[in-house]
């Protein structure tokens, strides 16, 4: 019974990785061309799937909402805190001047 569960888990891993390789855009694939990754995952099954996850899969960027009307952006595209945002600091200066 445990060998059946392990076998099903490995099959699920292989199918997930195969689907992931196929649906990943060509420009996001790392280290090898996409068609080679498809071949590696198909031919090497579980070892190929693990290799894809560790070496070939694109690094995910987290989307964040930029305050101040900037909309959604990748985490590297927006300042991390209000004190790092030049526009926010300018708006604070304007508010302070308007209060005086």
| Strand positions, DSSP E, the chain | 63-66, 71-74
User: What percent of the chain lies above the pLDDT cut of 70?
Assistant: 75
3-state class (DSSP) for residue 81: coil
Beta-bridge partner residues of 72: 65
Are 49 and 13 within 8 A, CB to CB? Answer: yes
Same-domain pairing of 27 and 49: yes
Query: Can you give the residue range of the structural domain that contains 51?
Result: 2-56
Neighbouring CB atoms inside 10 A of 53's CB total 14
Global confidence as pTM: 0.58
Instruction: Tell me the per-residue pLDDT of 24-79, one tens digit each, with 9 for 90 and over.
Output: 888 888 889 999 999 999 999 889 999 998 988 887 655 445 555 555 555 555 55
Say yes or no: 34 and 68 in one domain: no
* Residue 49: Cβ within 10 Å count: 23
d(CA 35, CA 19): 13
Total domain count for the chain? 2
User: Quick one: 9 and 47 in the same domain?
Assistant: yes
């Amino acid at each position: 019974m445990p060998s059946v569960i392990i076998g099903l888990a490995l099959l699920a891993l292989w199918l997930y990785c195969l689907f992931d390789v196929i649906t990943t855009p060509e420009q996001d694939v790392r280290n090898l061309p996409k068609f080679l990754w498809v071949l590696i995952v198909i031919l090497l099954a579980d070892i190929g799937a693990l290799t894809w996850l560790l070496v070939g899969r694109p690094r995910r960027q987290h989307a964040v909402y930029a305050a101040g009307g900037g909309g959604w952006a990748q985490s590297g595209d927006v300042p991390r805190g209000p004190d790092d945002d030049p526009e926010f600091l300018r708006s604070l200066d304007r508010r302070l001047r308007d209060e005086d």
